[in-house]
Amino acid sequence: MVEKVIPIRLDEGKGLTPSIPGQLMPASASTRDSRGRPLRDLRISVTDRCNFRCTYCMPKEIFDTNYPYLAHQELLSFEEITRLTSIFASLGVEKIRLTGGEPLLRKNLEVLVEMLAKIRTTSDQALDLTLTTNGSILRKKALALKAAGLHRLTISLDGLNDDIFKKMNDVDFPVTDVLDGIAAAQEAGFTNLKVNMVVKKGTNDQEIIAMAKHFKGTGITLRFIEFMDVGSSNGWDMSQVLPSKDVVARINAVFPIEALEANYPGEVAQRWRYVDGSGEIGFISSVTQTFCHECTRARISTDGQMYLCLFANKGFDFKTLLRANKSDLEIANVIMSTWAVRDDHYSEIRGSNTAMSNTRKVEMSYIGG
C-alpha cells in the first residue's frame, strides 16, 4: 500500500523570493492592490500542529503521527513575528489574528501576545489583537492571554451533540471541554466572543438549530461557515456545501432574524440579529456569496511565507529577508510591491475554466483559516 502524503506547503520550504525595489519609498498605508483593495488585516499562523483532526482541515488519514511537521528552527521566532507585524502596522494593518494549526499549542504564546500588544498602528492606536482556537486548552490559557493584552477570541465548535462533534474532530474530544473553555474565557473578562461552526451538509447540519438555541441570548456571536475547498486534503465536494441562505432560512423559521449592516468594509461575516433583540449571528459564505472584492487580508505562514489569499498555491519568502538582516524599510517596500500586484480572487472564479480548481492549494493548517 502506497502511503498518501500531502505536504502542507508546495515549495519544499522556500516560497518565491521577493526582490527589494531598487528605489526605496517611505512606508505607506495607502498601498492598494491591482483591484484597489488596501492592506488592513494580517493573519499569522504560529504553528502547523493541532490536537484535533477535523475532517475539513487536518484529516487523520493524512496528518498522522508520522507526518513531517515543520522543525522548530523553521518557525518564525516571537521576535521575528513581532518585527514583521510592526512593519505591516506601518503599512496600515490594524487587525492581527493569531491562528494555526491550534495556536495555543505554541509554547508561551501569551509572551508573543504581550509583545504584539505594544505595537501601534499608523493612527497611534493599539492593534486589534484576536485569536482563533478550538478551545481545547483555553481553560488553562484564558487568564494569561487576557492579561497579556489579547482583545478578542474566536472558538471553533461544530456541534453540541457529542457523537457528531467527535466525528468532526476525530480525536474523541468532548463538547463539554470546549464549552468549559468558552466559560473560562468569559470568566477571564473576554467580551465579544465569537463561536464558528463549519457546516458540512450531511454531517453536522442537523446541529444548526441546537447551536443557535444554545448561544442565543448569551452575548456570544455564533457564525456559520460554508464548507470550503481549502487545501487539497479535505476531499471537498460542492454537494457537501450547505449554502448560507439555506442556513438563514432554517434559523429564521424557528428564531426570526433580520440582516444588519457590516461593521466595516471587508468584514468577512454577514451580520444578522434576532428580531427579539436576543443577540447577533453571522454567516461566512465564501463559496456561494463571495467577498473577494473587499478582501483586505494577507497571511503569514508558520515559517514566514506571505500568502495573498486563503486559496493560494504559492507564497513569498519573508523569513529569508528577516534572517538576512534586511532593514525594516527594505522589507516594507517588498510588502508594498508584492501587495500592489495582487490580483487574487479565487472564490469569484471557483468552478470556471480559469479557476485552477484542480490545482494544489496550500493547506489551511499551514497558513491559518
What would the mean pLDDT of 277-299 be, rounded to a whole number? 87
The three state secondary structure string of 135-171 is: CCCHHHHHHHHHHHCCCEEEEECCCCCHHHHHHHHCC
What would the mean pLDDT of 248-269 be, rounded to a whole number? 90
Sequence-ordered strand ranges (E) for the chain? 41-45, 95-99, 128-133, 152-156, 194-199, 221-226, 257-259, 270-274, 280-284, 297-300, 305-307, 316-317
Give residue 286's pLDDT: 78
Closest listed residue to residue 350, CA positions, set 229, 231, 224:
229
Report whether pLDDT(40) > 80: yes
Give residue 350's pLDDT: 58
- Ranking 42-46, 130-134, 282-286, 342-346 by mean pLDDT, the lowest is 342-346
**Domain spanning 41-367, CATH class:** alpha beta
- Ranking 7-11, 217-221, 331-335 by mean pLDDT, the lowest is 7-11
Q: Extract the C-alpha cell encoding 246.
A: 439555506
- Cα separation, 321 vs 304, in Å, equals 10
| Domain regions of the chain by residue span | 41-367
Report whether pLDDT(307) > 60: yes
Give residue 355's pLDDT: 45
User: Of 88-102, 264-278, 296-310, which one has max mean pLDDT?
Assistant: 88-102
Report whether pLDDT(108) > 70: yes
Three-class secondary structure of residue 323 per DSSP = helix
The predicted-structure confidence for 143-190, as pLDDT tens digits, reads as follows 999 999 999 999 999 999 999 999 999 999 999 999 999 999 999 999
The predicted-structure confidence for 46-104, as pLDDT tens digits, reads as follows 999 999 998 888 888 889 989 999 999 999 999 999 999 999 999 999 999 999 999 99
- Ranking 31-35, 157-161, 313-317, 328-332 by mean pLDDT, the lowest is 313-317
**Whole-prediction pTM value?**
0.90
Which is more confident, 271 or 356?
271
- Cα separation, 108 vs 276, in Å, equals 42
Report whether pLDDT(6) > 50: no
Closest listed residue to residue 39, CA positions, set 268, 295, 290:
295
